[in-house]
Structure 1
Amino acid sequence: MHNEQHNTVVGFVGLGTMGDPMARNIAKAGYDVRLYDVDLDRAQRLAEQMGATALSAPAGLAQCDAVVFMLPTSRIVRSVLFSDEGELRIPLTSKTILIDMSSSDPNETLETGRLLAAHGVSLVDAPVSGARTRAEDGTLSIMLGSDDDEAAKRAEPIIRAMSQQIFRTGALGTGHAMKALNNFVAAAAYTASAEALIAGERFGLDPQVMVDIFNASTGQSFVTTHVLGEHIVQGKFATGFALPLMTKDVGIALALQKSVHHSAPVCEAVTAALGDALEAMGNVDHARAFQFWEKR
């Protein structure tokens, strides 16, 4: 198995907060890794640290057996692969599987999948849940969608280098749909918890006591255990998940709900609350939205 990994060339595109530790884990698992990022210096620096090769242009990805994308949006994923005229920028062959691990829009993923299929190239979507620490530990939860079981099977060992839990969600796009819906549920819990904390504090409750009670009661969630105490009550505001990204994911969930003709009043309210905070605060940690809501 180890030899097979040494012979498998894995491209990795997007070396940000999550991409950097994810790429390191693929290299650690014994794969021959080729890194590409718009910040070429960063790719070069990381390649030296992890014993990988930095690519100066995306065209080099054509030599890879699999290419992982960890980029901010599905539009950026598309722009790496296709020109505005819909021409393939990288001379990929049908032997290369593309693995989109970004938080992409599922309807855009389906469109990119169709464009790639016309060139005989398989796309699987495999977005992740779990912040940077879980990316470093290789314990991310992964939601894997694919129309091609053979491609999914070939992608799995590479994904396993980054994850303990792979959920096979169904056809192409279902992974990205699941990721957006999961993040909407988390954002709804965050927005509701913040609202409750502000109201309780104004009424005279101690915020830390409130958090302790949430965590021992039915209001408990990932947000109450991992965000409220340390990042809001103690004022750390460093969850590692940016407000623009949370807002984007909830926007994807809202677009998804509309695309299946579902009325989504809670998703609309959460989208509006995050949108207001984002407009006022810009690119900050999502926990800081609390400060905006508190002043309102």
Structure 2
Amino acid sequence: MDDRTQRVGFVGLGMMGTPMSRNLAGAGFDLRVYDADPERTRAVAAELGVTPVADPVELAACDVVVTMLPTSAIVRSVFLGADGALTIPLRAGTVIVDMSSSDPAETVETGRALAAFGVRLVDAPVSGGVARAADGTLAIMMGADDEDAAALAERIVAPMSRSVYRTGGLGTGDAMKALNNFVAGAAFAATSEALIAGRQFGLDPQLMVDILNDSTGQSFSSTHVFGPHVVQERYASGFALPLITKDIRIARDLQRGLGRDAPVCEAVTASFQEALDALGGVDHTEAYRHWSGESR
């Protein structure tokens, strides 16, 4: 079967979801889009020439539903009520591809609940940010217990991705994403600390970033984030402080659940949580301003 005949729903049209859905529409899928903001739903559907969904119940007509939402609790609430019943009358065999940065334990629990109705859940969180979402070059970490569902999901996400890594059973993609974002957050925090100290000692911040990028201190943050968003003070990377803090907290809780002593993850979680408590829902790069004392 040509996968483009599959009816695909896309839930969550934020900074990542909108360009991701744009790539699905461009690949020719029969796409239906939904966002909690009705105006956004109508605007994106009109731009892409796809079907707007006014009520999530309409997603029952879909063969595959893709979600790109802030938390795993929100993902669950789209499909399951507090009593555990389906909120959308999905057919047995429907595949849900959750591309959010979800909690792996909650994903496993949601997957079990959906399986009781014959609905198959695949976790497929993404990395690469808004630019790669727009380019269709995201890295995707995919976990699934059902091989047929995973194979279908892999074909559906292909227009959005450069690479798909099959990580294992359900929840393993989410675990990998949280651990990846912990590493990214640790690099951002460490680079911030170094720049703050360097500036105080008299070093030029942009020169420091240039040297880091030509040396062993290089990271995604130093290469793509610090120049435009910290040194040039744009503070508009597209990755919100509440979201990266949530992801790092998931990584911390994962390690606690495994009984591991994880002092670096504990420290990074505390640093980001402190910045979040002080700044609220800003871009994550503004944490630098808080740590440096500029926001006080």
Q: TM-score, normalised by structure 2?
A: 0.97
Equivalent-residue separation in structure 1 for 2:227 and 2:134 (angstroms): 23
Q: Which residue of structure 2 aligns with residue 282 of structure 1?
A: 280
Matches of 2:214 and 2:172 in 1, distance apart?
34
What is the aligned partner in structure 1 of residue 9 from structure 2?
11
1:161 counterpart residue number: 159
Counterpart amino acid of residue 25 in structure 1? N
Q: Which amino acid aligns with 2:151?
A: K
Q: Does the 8 A contact of 1:146 with 1:172 survive in 2?
A: yes
2:237 and 2:33 map into 1 onto residues whose CA distance is: 26
- Equivalent residue number for residue 181 of structure 1: 179
Q: Distance in 2 between matches of 1:49 and 1:174?
A: 35
Question: How many Å apart are 1:231 and its aligned residue?
Answer: 1.2
Counterpart of 2:218? 220
Unpaired runs of at least 5, structure 1: none
Q: Percent identity among equivalent residues? A: 60
Partner AA of 1:225 in structure 2? T
Tell whether the 8 Å contact from 1:5 to 1:30 is kept in structure 2 after alignment: no
The aligned runs of 1:193-212 (5 Å cut-off) are: 193-212=191-210
5+ unaligned residues in a row in structure 2: which ranges? none
**Distance in 1 separating the partners of 2:54 and 2:231:** 45
Deviation of 1:56 after TM superposition, in Å, equals 1.2
Query: Residue 161 of structure 1 aligns to a residue in which SS?
Result: helix
SS in 2 for 1:67: strand
CA contact (8 A) 1:70 1:101 kept: yes
Matched position secondary structure for 2:66:
strand
Contact 1:239–1:285 under 8 Å retained in 2: yes
Q: Do 2:94 and 2:118's aligned partners in 1 also have CA atoms closer than 8 Å?
A: no
Q: Deviations over 1:261-291 (max 9, x none)?
A: 1111101101111111111111111111111
Superposed displacement of residue 130, structure 1 = 0.8
What is the 5 A alignment of 1:203-282? 203-282=201-280
Partner of 1:73: 71
Q: CA deviation at 1:124?
A: 0.3
Q: Residue in 1 aligned with 2:190?
A: 192
Q: Which residue of 2 aligns with 1:37?
A: 35
Detail structure 1 runs of 4+ shifted over 2 Å in the superposition. none
Equivalent residues in 2 for 1:108-119, closer than 5 Å: 108-119=106-117
Q: Relative to structure 2, which stretch is displaced further, 224-233 or 182-191?
A: 224-233
Q: Which amino acid aligns with 2:266?
A: E
Distance in 2 of aligned mates of 1:268 and 1:177:
16
* Aligned equivalent of 1:84, options 73, 82, 94: 82
- Deviation for aligned residue 1:35: 0.9
- Counterpart AA for 1:58: P
Deviations 1:225-282, CA, capped at 9 Å, x for gaps = 1111221111111111111111011011111111111111101101111111111111
Counterparts of residues 126-165 of structure 1 (less than 5 Å): 126-165=124-163
Query: What's the TM-score once normalised by structure 1's chain length?
Result: 0.97
Q: In structure 2, what is the Cα distance between the partners aligned to 1:48 and 1:217?
A: 47
Letter of the 1:275 partner, please give it. Answer: Q
- Counting only pairs closer than 5 Å after superposition, residues 52-71 of structure 1 correspond to structure 2 as 52-71=50-69
**Aligned partner (choices 46, 49, 53) of residue 47 of structure 2:** 49
AA aligned to 2:75 is V
- Quote how far apart the aligned CAs of 1:5 are: 3.7
* Corresponding residue of 2:25: 27
8 Å CA contact 2:101, 2:125 repeated in 1: yes
Q: Answer whether contact 1:109 1:172 (CA < 8 A) is retained.
A: yes
Quick one: which amino acid aligns to residue 243 of structure 2?
A: L
Q: Which AA in structure 2 matches 1:105?
A: D
Q: Is the 8 A contact 2:3 2:155 kept in 1?
A: no
Root-mean-square deviation over aligned CA pairs: 1.1
Q: Distance in 1 between matches of 2:211 and 2:76?
A: 46
Secondary structure, counterpart of 2:43 in structure 1: helix
Shift of 1:6: 3.9
Report if aligned partners of 1:18, 1:135 keep a CA contact under 8 Å in 2: yes
